Amino acid sequence: MIDFLNLQKINSRFRDEILASIERVFNSGWYISGEENKKFCEDFSKYCKVKHTIGVANGMNALELIIKGYGFKKNDEIIVPANTYIASILAISNNECSPVLVEPDINTYNINPDLIEGKITERTKAIIVVHLYGQAVQMKKIWELAQKYGLKVIEDAAQAHGARYCEKLTGNLGNAAGFSFYPGKNLGCLGDGGAITTSDNQLAEKITALHNYGSFKKYHNLYKGINSRLDEIQAAVLRVRLKYLEQDNARRREISQYYRKNIRNGKIILPTTYNEDAHVWHVFAVRTENREAFQNYLQKQNIQTVIHYPVPPHKQPAYKEWNHLSFPITEQIHREIISLPISPVMTDAEVEEVVKIVNRY
């Protein structure tokens, strides 16, 4: 069986280093908001070239806290791609703001910058860009619109740690970014984890309080905050994993290049990138008209696949008020997309095997 993603194998490469860092936390007797969190946040700020990183409990909280930190009000509108993972949209709804869905570009699967301006109203406050599947959004036009209309640009960088646009890393492509360190992400820990990056001093200060009950000083509460912190064990694990992120992304890139060069099958549409540096291949998503047949075929040949994602947010029962809407490109993607295995621990033999089997379909 060729696994879609073997997390045990991924972390075992650093077994001794990770276990030593966990032991260090165990022995310290300090388990929340201590040295490990502080050091990881410093390391991550340095890596992304931003002024501040705030460790939080997960990626969705990171996005929620950015929106809360800006103080957007009920019915303020935030633009977001229609084909994103639902967490980007829930982060808006959970703040009682209104998500405004925009269709993606069928070639990049990222938000189509040409369709944004038509959705801007007086109530629009921000644009959430999602670097979907690991590819950094092409920001130029979005920066121009943000400037023109006075909007904040918020990145959902949960799938794109280390991806670059014009030599700048995700996390540093807008006013603030939310990252997830869920175990399966390119930079993952051993449980839930997330972070916010920003170079906005005021926002960073406010979120520092908001994520800790709205308090700067213990038992003194300036805001109605939440409790969302990155715990010490996860921060310690992430300090190890961050050291190998570039190397891991390079291996993903190598596999994707091999796939893109060698998969030759008229029934399969391969992903593309506008620049090799822009993509960290969190997933390798291909499209095919009869997805179920393709997935069953691969399953029989012992290749695991995953669908990112089978149902678009506007067709989910959770958003029944949108169920009647039509986003044809989003719907086409959700109908046709399927992700082949890609991970830094795949062997050359496995990668070659996937190509052979896909070409035989």
User: Toward ligand PLP, which CB reaches closer, 343 or 358?
Assistant: 343
**By C-alpha distance, which of 95, 136, 87 is closest to 113?**
136
The binding track of 102-131 with respect to ligand PLP, each residue x by CB under 6 A or -, is: ----------------------------x-
The binding track of 131-160 with respect to ligand PLP, each residue x by CB under 6 A or -, is: -------------------------x-xx-
Question: CB–CB of 123/76 below 8 Å?
Answer: yes
User: Toward ligand PLP, which CB reaches closer, 333 or 358?
Assistant: 333
User: Toward ligand PLP, which CB reaches closer, 83 or 263?
Assistant: 83
Minimal distance, residue 83 CB to ligand PLP, in Å: 10
User: Toward ligand PLP, which CB reaches closer, 155 or 232?
Assistant: 155
Q: Which two tokens stand for residue 284?
A: 């390798």
- The backbone torsions φ and ψ at residue 68, rounded to the nearest 5 degrees and listed phi first, read -65, -40
Minimal distance, residue 199 CB to ligand PLP, in Å: 21
Q: How far apart are CA 271 and CA 287, in angstroms?
A: 8
Q: How far apart are CA 4 and CA 321, in angstroms?
A: 34
Minimal distance, residue 172 CB to ligand PLP, in Å: 18
Minimal distance, residue 201 CB to ligand PLP, in Å: 25
Interface with ligand PLP (CB under 6 A), residue from 44, 70, 85, 133: 85
The binding track of 41-60 with respect to ligand PLP, each residue x by CB under 6 A or -, is: -----------------xxx
Interface with ligand PLP (CB under 6 A), residue from 2, 54, 67, 87: 87
Q: How far apart are CA 303 and CA 301, in angstroms?
A: 6
- Between the alpha carbon of residue 167 and those of residues 64, 145, 197, 343, 347, the distances in Å are 27, 21, 17, 23, 29
Q: How far apart are CA 215 and CA 219, in angstroms?
A: 7
Place of tokens 């893109």: 260
Tell me the site size for ligand PLP, rule CB under 6 A: 15
Interface with ligand PLP (CB under 6 A), residue from 45, 53, 88, 198: 88
Interface with ligand PLP (CB under 6 A), residue from 11, 45, 138, 180: 180
Of residues 304-323, those binding ligand PLP (CB under 6 A): none
Q: Terminus-to-terminus CA distance in the chain, angstroms?
A: 17
Q: How far apart are CA 99 and CA 82, in angstroms?
A: 9
Place of tokens 């070659």: 352
Interface with ligand PLP (CB under 6 A), residue from 70, 72, 165, 182: 182
User: Toward ligand PLP, which CB reaches closer, 7 or 357?
Assistant: 7
**By C-alpha distance, which of 200, 245, 241, 238 is closest to 65?**
200
DSSP 312-355: -GGGSGGGGGGTT---HHHHHHHHHEEEEP--TT--HHHHHHHH
Q: Which two tokens stand for residue 248?
A: 């891991």
Residue nearest to ligand PLP (CB): 59
Q: Could you list the residues that contact ligand PLP (CB under 6 A)? A: 58-60, 84-85, 87-88, 130, 156, 158-159, 180, 182, 192, 194
